[in-house]
């Protein structure tokens, strides 16, 4: 078991440091910005998105339009990840299981932000409560944290697991220093009870929500009689997938749920990236980082434009 875990760790580290780093061409800021105190530039204020406390009143008065200050990330970034390791994450019908992608996403953030005193800690959503792994700097600490996530025992059917809302609220109350918060989950809990605590979390920190999806959660194949089991409760049911109407209703319900999750995350002010077990998660994460960097570049004026506004 130990030898296999070390092989997984080595493969994951090489994937992130060589492949993902290469796709991003070393520009990690687009993936891992953090709060700071040094002004990087001035741009137009976006109602509902920007913190009014960062308003640049001087430029606002001169231009007649509300402007806010963009800040350079502090040298030491404290990142906390909330990783959903409930039973529904122990599922995958393609390249990997959902829990593997959740751990890989958190590891990618850790590997790319390592150095300079940056720290990464984690709250693991497991049966019986939330397991907390302290935030420490350095590569050995990061490898130990990822190793602990990979070695976490799987949840059994019917084992009680705290709700996502409780876990987010606990993360917010326990760690107040501004930084980056990464939430990795499949968001399959009924309703969006986690939206309100997530909104509170995003009001203070930058939040990246990693939604992990398996293709069989989006549509059912026509395979005749299929026995399905609810991993959270252990309830078993046989379904005849040959009925087109059943497959259509299933796909529609799955699509509605995805839209509801996406809308709730946007309302809460969280960044959102989707990783699928049947796709190349490295490219999806790199594409997200690249798109975000370009969007920020379009919103932020050049230095000459800022000087002219002054």
How far apart, in whole angstroms, are the C-alpha atoms of residue 258 and residue 262?
A: 6
Task: Tell me the whole-structure pTM to 2 decimals.
Answer: 0.77
pLDDT in tens, 55-95: 888 888 888 888 887 665 445 678 999 999 998 899 899 88
Contacts of 140 (CB under 8 A, 6+ apart): none
More confident residue, 38 or 203: 203
Q: Which of 50 and 137 is assigned the larger pLDDT?
A: 137
φ/ψ of 64, rounded to 5, equals 80, 10
CATH class belonging to 77-294 = alpha beta
Per-residue pLDDT of 197-211, as tens digits, reads 999 999 989 899 999
- Bridge partners (DSSP) listed for residue 271: 208
For 158-176, how does the pLDDT look when each residue is reduced to its tens digit (9 = 90+)?
A: 777 889 999 999 999 999 8
Which of 63, 61, 57, 66 minimizes the C-alpha distance to 308? 63
Which of the residue ranges 33-37, 240-244, 255-259 would you say has the lowest mean pLDDT? 33-37
Structure tokens at 281: 């998660």
The ranges assigned to domains in the chain are: 77-294
Contact 68, 105 (CB under 8 A): no
pLDDT above 60 for 303: no
Six-digit token string for 51: 């913190």
| DSSP β-ladder status, 38-44 and 225-229 | unpaired
Whether the per-residue pLDDT at 39 is higher than 80: the answer is no
- For residue 28, give both structure tokens: 């990690």
**So what's the pLDDT on residue 287?**
85
């Amino acid at each position: 078991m130990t030898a296999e875990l070390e092989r997984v760790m080595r493969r994951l580290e090489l994937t992130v440091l060589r492949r993902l780093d290469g796709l991003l061409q070393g520009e990690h800021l687009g993936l891992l910005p953090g709060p700071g105190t040094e002004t990087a530039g001035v741009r137009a204020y976006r109602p509902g998105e920007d913190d009014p406390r960062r308003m640049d009143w001087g430029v606002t008065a001169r231009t007649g339009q509300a402007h806010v200050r963009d800040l350079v990330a502090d040298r030491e970034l404290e990142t906390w990840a909330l990783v959903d390791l409930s039973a529904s994450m122990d599922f995958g019908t393609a390249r990997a299981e959902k829990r593997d992608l959740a751990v890989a996403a958190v590891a990618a953030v850790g590997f790319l932000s390592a150095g300079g005193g940056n720290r990464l800690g984690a709250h693991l959503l497991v049966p019986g409560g939330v397991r907390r792994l302290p935030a420490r700097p350095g590569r050995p600490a990061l490898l130990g944290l990822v190793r602990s996530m990979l070695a976490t025992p799987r949840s059994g059917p019917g084992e009680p697991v705290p709700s996502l809302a409780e876990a987010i609220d606990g993360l917010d109350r326990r760690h107040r220093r501004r930084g980056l918060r990464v939430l990795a989950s499949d968001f399959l809990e009924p309703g969006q009870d986690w939206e309100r605590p997530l909104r509170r979390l995003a009001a203070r920190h930058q939040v990246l929500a990693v939604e992990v999806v398996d293709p069989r959660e989006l549509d059912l194949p026509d395979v005749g009689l299929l026995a399905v089991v609810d991993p959270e409760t252990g309830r078993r049911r046989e379904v005849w997938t040959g009925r087109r109407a059943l497959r259509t209703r299933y796909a529609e319900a799955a699509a509605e749920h995805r839209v509801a999750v996406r809308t709730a995350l946007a309302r809460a002010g969280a960044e959102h990236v989707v990783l699928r077990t049947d796709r190349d998660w490295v490219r999806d994460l790199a594409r997200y980082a690249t798109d975000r960097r370009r969007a920020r570049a379009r919103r932020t004026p050049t230095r000459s434009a800022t000087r002219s506004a002054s």
